[in-house]
Amino acid sequence: MDFFYQLNLAAFVLVNGSMVYRQYRQDKRAEFSEKIQDSDAENDTADEGRSTSKSSTVASASSAKQFTNIFFPVYVLVWGADWLQGPFIYVLYKDEKKLPEEIVARLFTTGFLAGAVSALFVGSLADRFGRKNACLAYCAITSLSCLSVLSNNISVLFAGRALGGLGTTLMYTVFEAWMVTEYNQRGLERTRLKLSSIFGRMITLSSVVAVLAGLVGQVFVSWTKTNCAPFVASICCLAPASFIIASKWSENYGDSGSNPKEKKDSLKLLLGVDKQVLTLGLTSCCFEGSMYLFIFFWSPALKSSHLLAHQHSALPFGIIFASFMGAMMLGSMLFTKILTDKRWMTCRELLQTVVVLASGSLLFTIFFRSEWITFWLFCLFELCVGMYFPAMGYQKGKVVGDGERAHIYGLLRIPFNIFVVVALSLTKEGDAYRETIFMTCSGLLLVVGAVVGVFLHD
């Protein structure tokens, strides 16, 4: 069976590598075309207006390059630290520390509950005291969470999960809030660096890092004979990320420079009057909630299918996780191809399609118990995840203003954290409960697909 998973991973690497190369060639052609246009403008010195425009274009391009050089390395390190933990946290608690399923569920629930509570205030604190400072706080808090797994004391483990929940809320709010605000303040919308392409590149990079993290984490576990090793490696990623943030990033705040109209719009969003924000909140709750439940249940689901096939060997979780991330990377590149390059559909239409596909992928795992089919359906779900996050990020970037960005991003995470907490608090052993969860998530995602089609504007 290991060969089956290795073959699928190799296929994802091949397809993704081909698409990355094609995108690289396309970007080079566009860059060459832009240089020719700039050269023509430079030669036309008689037109003073064009010369001024040329200087402005060069300055904007330089600012765009500087922006990507300081943001993406941090993004890669932060997500690398997160992905190193992902494949091993359930196995660490359940198999290595021999904790009962109910205790493991409570540990996960503690993390999501901490995330829900912290979402009430971390965004507003980041807007007030600075998103850069909040990003540094994330690195420190997540490092402490990783250190907690070295202990077998149950209280320490619960405290670590609480810190992990707080860190996750920070990771999903303040980094993106800093990036979008910095992008707007630098006026980068005038350059070739479009916001939608940044979100697409973020998920592509995240997927590449996730694949490498899964493989590297598996190697560390094999060397050290403990699932704690990837958590220590995460701390080694967060240290250089903190250094770059502290030394290279500028600070930005909420409400700075906001005019009265922007503040009124932010208040309207916070009061929940804006139907588009409510739609984004519902979509985030159901899709991301389903995704996190999937994270909790995918390994026992595959183990169950593995046993049904009378296979008793250990599953290669690192390779399986790397394959999932390969599928997510493919989804992010399809997002860029569909929305930015070909423009086959609008972002709203793509988001709606992704939600419906994700619904089907979870539903069919109930009816097809084959290990191969279950794995491929899970890969389809991850492909949807790869398209969902850049689509959702782009929609939030358009709807939410810079003044309250981190605060509203944090508030949008409250419903989905509560959703996951309720589901995990009812966790039981066996396939029946897991199938109920997948069926419920599938139904909710169908409802979300309809709501997105009605209330979200292009």
One-letter amino acid identity for 282? L
Residue in 420, 436, 428 with CA at minimum distance from that of residue 161: 420
Please write the tens of the pLDDT for every residue from 276-330: 888 988 998 899 989 988 987 888 888 888 888 777 777 887 788 888 888 988 9
Residue 45 has pLDDT above 50, yes or no: no
Residue 421 has pLDDT above 90, yes or no: no
How many residues can be counted in the chain? 458
Is the alpha carbon torsion for 200, 202, 205, 211 positive or negative?
A: negative
Confidence of residue 387 (pLDDT cuts 50, 70, 90): very high
- Residue range 88-101: mean pLDDT, rounded: 85
Say how far apart CA 131 and CA 117 lie, in whole Å: 19
Say how far apart CA 182 and CA 248 lie, in whole Å: 13
- Count of CB atoms situated within 10 Å of the CB of 38: 14
Cβ burial 47-81 (10 Å sphere, 16+ → b, else e): eeeeeeebeebeebbebbeebeebbeebbbbbbbb
Say how far apart CA 9 and CA 174 lie, in whole Å: 32
Residue 238 has pLDDT above 90, yes or no: yes
User: Looking at residue 39, what is its pLDDT?
Assistant: 55
Residue 350 has pLDDT above 50, yes or no: yes
Residue in 401, 170, 172, 387 with CA at minimum distance from that of residue 274: 401
Residue indicated by tokens 């008793």: 312
Do the beta carbons of residue 250 and residue 130 sit within 8 Å?
no
Please write the tens of the pLDDT for every residue from 170-204: 998 899 889 988 998 888 888 778 887 888 888 88
- Residue range 50-69: mean pLDDT, rounded: 66
User: Looking at residue 207, what is its pLDDT?
Assistant: 78
Please write the tens of the pLDDT for every residue from 240-262: 999 999 999 999 887 644 444 44
Measured CA to CA in angstroms, residue 409 lies from 97, 121, 432, 444 at distances of: 35, 11, 34, 21
Q: pTM of the prediction?
A: 0.74
Tokens matching residue 3: 């060969």
Contacts of 258 (CB under 8 A, 6+ apart): 266, 401, 402, 403
Contacts of 142 (CB under 8 A, 6+ apart): 81, 82, 163, 164, 167, 171, 234, 238
Cβ burial 231-245 (10 Å sphere, 16+ → b, else e): bbbbbebbeebbeeb
Which has more confidence, 50 or 424?
Answer: 424
